[in-house]
Structure 1
Amino acid sequence: MKQRGRHRRRRRGQALRATLAGTALALTAAATLISTSQATSSGSPGALSRLSDSSQTARLSLQENLVAPSTLDTLTRRMGGNVGVAAVLDSADHSMRNEDDCAGSERAALPEEPTATRAYCWDGADAKARQWLPRSVTTSGDAYEDSTWGDHRVILAGWTHENQQAADDHRTGGPTRDDGLARVAFIDATDPHALTYRHALLVAPKDGGKNFEAVRSQLGGMVWYQDKLIVTARNGTALLAFDLRRILRTDVNSAAIGRVSGGYSADGYQYVLPTIGSYDLTGDTCTAGDDRAAPCFGSLSLDRTSAPDSLVATEASTPGGSDHARVWRYPYSTAPDRTGLLAAGYQGRVGASEVYVTKASGVSGVLSHTPAGTSETDWYVAQAPSGDGRHGTLWRQTDSGADVATCTADQSRACWGLRTASLSYWQETDELWTLTGTAAADTASGRVLYAVPLSAVDSSLE
C-alpha cells in the first residue's frame, strides 16, 4: 500500500515544504523584540535533570498485555471486516474552517510568537460542545516518513467526554452514561485548503470478540506510529494500543454501545476502533504530583531522531504548582512482526530508555528532537499558566539550560497558544502541530488546530 503513488506524493510533499519554508523565512525576518531567557532568569525551569537512579526509573516500566489475535479476528469477522482509514476519510461528515473563516475569539487562541502558518477551526457543533473536549493530536507524518497513509495526508485529533455542563448536553442518555467516552477525529488533510473529518469511537473487545464496550480514556496524548495508535488511558494510569488496520463499521444507529438486536451499535457513531492491548505500569498505582510514586501519564509524542524511534511521555502536572514533572521515552520495536509496538523484552516488559525531570509546572505537552549534525537533544516543553484566559509558554530545554521567546507586544513569556494540548512534529514539512481549547470554558474563547514551523520556534529563541 505504501508504494502506490510514492513519486507523485514526494513531489507534492516537496512543493508543500517549499511553501512552508518560505513562510518560515518571512516569519523570521519579521520577528522583532525577541529575547532569550536563560536558565538563570526568574521563572525559568532551567536545565533538565537526568534521572538515573534505578529505583526511580523502575517505576516507569510497563507490562505489555495484548488482546488474543483470535478475539480480534472474531470481532472483525462478525462486523464485516476492516474498512480501513480511507473509508472513514471518504465518508467525512464534518468540515474544518480555514483560519480566515474562524471567529475572532477563535483566532485569539493562536500563539503570538511565533505566528501559526496553518490554522483550522472545527465545525459549529464541535466548536461549541461543552462536554466533548479536544485533547491530543498526531499525524500521518508520525506514522511514516513519507507522511501519507495510502493516498491521504491525515491528522488524528483525540476528544474525550467529560461530565460538565449537563444542561448543555442534549444527547440521549445524558452525561453520566457518556462520561469518559473517547473518540478520534480522522481528518483528511490531503488538500490543505479543505480539511474534512469524521469521528470514530474507541472501544474494547469482550466476550472473546463477540461484543465490545466503550473505552474510557482522557486521551491526553496519542501517537500514530506505523500501523498502530497508542493513547493514554483514563486518569493516566496506562497506555492503550489500537491497530489502524482494524477499523470496523457499525450497522445499527442507536444510543447503545456493543451488540444489539440486528447487529452492532456505537452510540450513533458509524465507525469504531477496538483496542488491541495495553501497557500497564508495573509499579504502584500512579499518583499525580508525587515524584516518589509512579507518574500518571499526561501527554505523548514521537521522536524520529532517536535510535530507535521512541515514544516520549510526560507526567501529568498542575499549572502553577511546585511539583516537578518527569519526561521520559520508550523505544519502539524494530522487529518486523511488531510494527508500531513498543520494544518489549522478557515476559513483555518495556523499560524507559531515558528519563529527565523538568521544573516546569503545568506541562501540557513535550516534544524531543535532535537537530541534524548535533548530538544535543532539544526538549520543547509547553507550559500552561496558572490563571484562566492567559496564553501558555513554550520552553526549549536541554541539560544545560532553557530558552523562551518574549512576546513583542507586552514583553511577557505567554506567547504560545491558549490552553494547548499535546505536541506533534511533522518532520517532512517541519511543522509543530498542537490544538487549543482543552477546557469546557474554551468554547467561548476558541478551539483551534494549528501548526508552527519548528524552525520558526527556534528562530524566536535565538
Structure 2
Amino acid sequence: MVYLRHWLAGGALLLPLVVAVDPRLCQTGNEKLPESQFTLKEVEDSFLPELSEIFVQTNSNVSVADVLDSANRALVQKSPPLGNGHPVESWAWNSGDEATSKWYPQGVTSSGDALAAGKWDGREAWIVTWYQKTGGKNVRLSFVDRDTHQYRHVLLVEPSAPDDFKPVGIHAGGIMWYGSALYVVDTHGGLRVFDLNHIWKVADGDQVGKKSGGGYSAANYRYVIPQIRKYDWKALQPDSTFSFSWVSLDRSDSPDTLLVGEYTKDDTNTPIRLVKYALDYQTRKLRTTNGVATATFAHCVDILRMQGGYSLGNKFYLGRSNGESKGSDLFVWSPGSSATARSQWLMAGSEDFSFNPSRGEWYTITEHPGKRYIVAYKKL
C-alpha cells in the first residue's frame, strides 16, 4: 500500500489516503512477482464449427504438407552482414519479400516446437509471422520447407459469422507451434490460437472473407488459417496492462510451458516482465481451472528493447535490438542473478526466438528491409 498524507491549511491532519499498488508492477526491476496475478481467460470461437464445416464439405481443408508442396518462392542462402555470433545457417527471402515495406517479419517457430521429434508429418519446417504495416491490417505466415528452402505465404483470419471470416489485425510479434496449435501474441489482448487442422483453400480475390458471388477469398492468398480460440488478458485484468510482445516454448519445464515477454523501448518506469503458462500436451491448450489460465512463473527483468527470448533449465536467453545500423545484444539471465551481455552478438533487427531441442539449435529472424534473415545458431 501507498499512504498519502493530506494536510489542511491550518495544519490539521486528515485521515491517510490508501492507494493500492498493482502487484503485477515492478518496484526494483528484477524481482519475482505473484503468479496468481497473471491470468488469462480462455475463449473458444463460437463461429468456427459451422464455418469449418463449409470447407470440409467442399473438400477445401488441406494439410501442412499440401502448403509446403505448393511453395511458390525460395529462400536465398546468404551470410548476415552484422553480428559477432556465428550462425550455422542464414537465409534471406526472395527479392520481393526482402525489400517490401508493406510487410514486416516478426515471429519464428519450427517443427521442433510442434513435436519433440522435430518433424510434423515427416517434414521439417519454419513458420514466420509478418504483419501488414501499410495498406490494411492483416497477418500472414510463411511456411518454409527446411529441405528445399522453398516457402509459401498463408493468411490468418478470424471467424466473424457462421459463414464468414475477417482479417486478423494484430502485430503478431511472436509465434509458437505446439502440436497442431499456433500461438500468436496479441500485444495488448493476450494470445490468439490458430489450428493447423484447419487450413482452408480459397479462391482468388482482393477482399478477405465471403465473396458476393459465392465462395471465399483472402487478399489473393491461396490459403487461410482460422482462429480457434484466444486467451484474453483484458477480460480478467481490465485496469492492468501487459505487453505480449513475443513468445516461445520451454520443454525443459514439466509440464511444458509457454513463455511470453515484454518489449519496452526506452521508458524505464514501465515494467518489463517474463511470464510462463503451463501447457496441456494432450489438448495443446493452456492448462486452466474453470476456464482461467494462471501463470506458473512471473518475474521482472530490467532489459530494454527485448524483442525475443527462450528459456532452458534455469537460464533465459534474451535478445535486445539496437536499431537498424547496429547488431542486437544477447543476454543470458537466471532469476536472482544479474544478466550477462554479449554486445551486438546478433545481427541488426533481431526479433522473436525459438529453440529446437531435436537439432540442438535455436532460431531468430530480422525485420528491416534489405536485411531480413532467418538465422540458426547452435545451443549456447
Shorter chain as denominator, the TM-score bin is 0.7 to 0.9
1:330 aligns with 2:277: yes
1:89 aligns with 2:68: yes
| Farther-moved stretch of structure 1 (259-268 vs 72-81) | 72-81
User: Equivalences for 1:127-142 in 2 at 5 Å?
Assistant: 127-142=98-113
Q: Which residue of 2 aligns with 1:382?
A: 319
Matched residue of 1:402: which SS? coil
Q: Which one of 289, 292, 300 corresponds to residue 247 of structure 2?
A: 300
1:451 aligns with 2:376: yes
Structure-2-length-normalised TM-score = 0.87
How many residue pairs are counted as aligned between the two chains?
Answer: 350
Q: Which residue of 1 aligns with 2:96?
A: 125
Q: Which one of 160, 170, 182 corresponds to residue 139 of structure 2?
A: 182
Contact kept in structure 2, 1:48 and 1:398, CA below 8 Å: no
- For residues 294 and 321 of structure 2, what CA distance do their matches in structure 1 show? 29
- CA displacement 1:56-104 (0-9 Å, x = unmatched): x42x21000112463343343355342110110000000000126xxxx
1:64 aligns with 2:1: no
Aligned CA distance change for structure 1 residues 418 and 75 (closer, same or farther; 3 Å): farther
Letter in 2 for 1:231: V
Q: Which one of 183, 187, 190 corresponds to residue 238 of structure 1?
A: 190
Q: Which residue of 1 aligns with 2:119?
A: 148
User: Equivalences for 1:9-20 in 2 at 5 Å?
Assistant: none
Q: State the shift of 1:285 in Å.
A: 4.3
- For residues 201 and 162 of structure 1, what CA distance do their matches in structure 2 show? 15
- For residues 29 and 160 of structure 2, what CA distance do their matches in structure 1 show? 46
1:49 aligns with 2:31: yes
- For residues 238 and 130 of structure 2, what CA distance do their matches in structure 1 show? 25
- CA displacement 1:352-371 (0-9 Å, x = unmatched): 1110100111110121111x
Letter in 2 for 1:332: L
| Farther-moved stretch of structure 1 (78-87 vs 90-99) | 78-87
| Farther-moved stretch of structure 1 (61-70 vs 223-232) | 61-70
- For residues 351 and 76 of structure 1, what CA distance do their matches in structure 2 show? 35
Q: Supply the RMSD in Å over aligned alpha carbons.
A: 2.0
1:157 aligns with 2:128: yes
Contact kept in structure 2, 1:186 and 1:199, CA below 8 Å: yes
Q: State the shift of 1:319 in Å.
A: 4.6
**Percent identity, aligned pairs only?**
25
Q: Which runs of 4+ in 1 moved over 6 A?
A: none
- CA displacement 1:130-150 (0-9 Å, x = unmatched): 120000000000010111111
- For residues 453 and 321 of structure 1, what CA distance do their matches in structure 2 show? 32
Letter in 2 for 1:443: P
Q: State the shift of 1:419 in Å.
A: 1.3
1:263 aligns with 2:215: yes
- For residues 329 and 192 of structure 2, what CA distance do their matches in structure 1 show? 29
Structure-1-length-normalised TM-score = 0.72
Choose between structure 1 and 2: higher strand proportion: 2
Q: Which residue of 2 aligns with 1:396?
A: 332
Structure 2 portions without partners, runs of 5+: 1-27
Q: Which has the higher contact order (CA 8 A, sep 6+)?
A: 1
Structure 1 portions without partners, runs of 5+: 1-45, 101-106, 164-174, 287-292, 371-376, 407-412, 456-462
- For residues 309 and 58 of structure 2, what CA distance do their matches in structure 1 show? 38
Q: Which residue of 2 aligns with 1:368?
A: 311
Q: Which residue of 1 aligns with 2:300?
A: 357
